[in-house]
C-alpha cells in the first residue's frame, strides 16, 4: 500500500500536503454515508444487467416444473430390467410439449433432451445404448432408477430464495430470474455523484502551471 505526499512550490512559498491512505479514506466514506439510503425503481430484465437488486427474489414455482430428460433416449420403468430385454415403443414426446402418455411394464416412449418424462417411467436410456427394431427396442446395458432424469424442483424449489437484495445482477442472475417467470425486477437507483475540486493549485486553462515536485513514500505493513 502507498501513501502520497505532495510539495507544491509557488514562487518563494511552498506548502506540504499529506494525503490519507486508502483504508482511512474508505472508513471516512462509510461513516459519511452510513445513514444514506438509495431509492428503488423497477426495471425490465433487459435493462437490469449491472444493477443492484433491491429485493429478495422468492421463486413462485418449481424449476423444472415437470420431470425432464437429460438425454435423447427412451423412457421406461426400470423395475425388473435386465440386459437384452425388449420393450415395445408406444409413442414419443414432442419437445416443449406435455404428454398424457402413461408407461406400463415392458413399454417405452421416445423422449428428446429436455423433454417431459411420462408417468410410469423412472429412467431414460440413451438411444445409443439400445438396438432399435421397428416398434421395439432392446437394451444393450443395464439401467438404474432415476438415470438421466431430472425431478420436479431439482434446480429451484417453489418458495425458496434464489437471489438476495444487494446482489449484483449479471447474465447468470438474469437467467435465474427468467427461469422463474419474472419479466421485471426492483433495483436501487443509480446514485448521482459529483467531484468538487478546490485549492489554489487550480489555474486557468490558458495559464502556465507552476512547477510541482512530487514525493512518493512507501509504507510497508
CA distance 51 to 186: 10
Domain carrying residue 110: 68-150
User: ∠ at Cα 157 (155, 160), nearest 5°?
Assistant: 120
pLDDT at position 199, please?
A: 67
* DSSP state, residue 194: -
pLDDT digit string, tens, across residues 42-99: 999 999 999 999 999 999 999 999 999 999 999 999 998 899 999 999 999 998 889 9
Position 191 scores a pLDDT of 84
Q: How far apart are CA 126 and CA 103, in angstroms?
A: 17
Q: Which residues of 74-101 are buried (b: 16+ CB within 10 A; e: fewer)?
A: bbbbeeebeeeeebebbebbeeeeebeb
* 118-130 pLDDT, tens digit each: 999 999 999 999 9
Residues whose CB is less than 8 angstroms from the CB of residue 76 and which lie 6 or more positions away in sequence, other chains included: 87, 103, 107, 108, 109, 121, 123, 124, 125, 143
Interatomic CA distance for residues 98 and 68, integer angstroms: 10
CATH at residue 119: 2.170.190.11
With respect to residue 221, please indicate whether it lies within any of the assigned structural domains. Answer: no
Q: Clarify whether residues 165 and 111 are in a common domain.
A: no
Number of domains in the chain: 2
> Is pLDDT at 173 greater than 50 in this prediction?
yes
> Average pLDDT of 4-24?
61
Of 150, 180, 208, the domain-final residue: 150
Mean pLDDT of 127-140: 94
Amino acid at each position: 500500500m502507498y501513501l502520497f505526499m505532495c510539495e507544491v512550490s509557488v514562487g518563494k512559498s511552498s506548502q506540504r500536503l499529506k494525503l490519507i491512505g486508502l483504508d482511512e479514506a474508505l472508513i471516512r466514506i462509510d461513516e459519511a454515508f452510513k445513514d444514506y439510503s438509495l431509492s428503488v425503481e423497477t426495471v425490465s430484465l433487459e435493462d437490469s444487467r449491472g444493477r443492484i437488486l433491491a429485493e429478495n427474489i422468492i421463486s413462485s414455482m418449481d424449476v423444472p416444473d415437470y420431470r425432464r430428460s437429460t438425454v435423447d433416449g427412451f423412457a421406461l420403468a426400470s423395475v425388473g430390467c435386465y440386459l437384452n430385454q425388449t420393450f415395445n415403443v408406444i409413442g414419443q414426446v414432442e419437445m416443449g410439449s406435455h404428454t398424457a402418455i402413461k408407461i406400463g411394464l415392458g413399454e417405452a416412449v421416445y423422449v428428446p433432451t429436455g423433454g417431459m418424462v411420462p408417468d410410469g417411467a423412472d429412467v431414460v436410456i440413451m438411444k445409443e445404448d439400445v438396438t432399435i427394431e421397428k416398434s421395439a427396442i432392446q437394451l444393450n446395458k443395464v439401467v438404474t432408477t432415476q438415470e438421466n432424469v431430472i425431478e420436479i424442483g431439482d434446480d429451484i424449489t417453489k418458495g425458496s430464495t434464489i437471489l438476495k437484495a444487494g446482489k449484483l445482477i449479471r447474465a447468470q442472475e438474469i437467467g435465474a430470474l427468467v427461469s422463474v417467470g419474472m419479466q421485471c425486477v426492483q433495483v436501487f437507483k443509480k446514485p448521482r455523484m459529483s467531484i468538487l475540486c478546490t485549492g489554489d493549485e487550480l489555474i486557468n486553462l490558458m495559464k502556465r502551471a507552476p512547477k510541482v515536485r512530487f514525493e512518493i513514500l512507501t509504507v510497508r505493513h
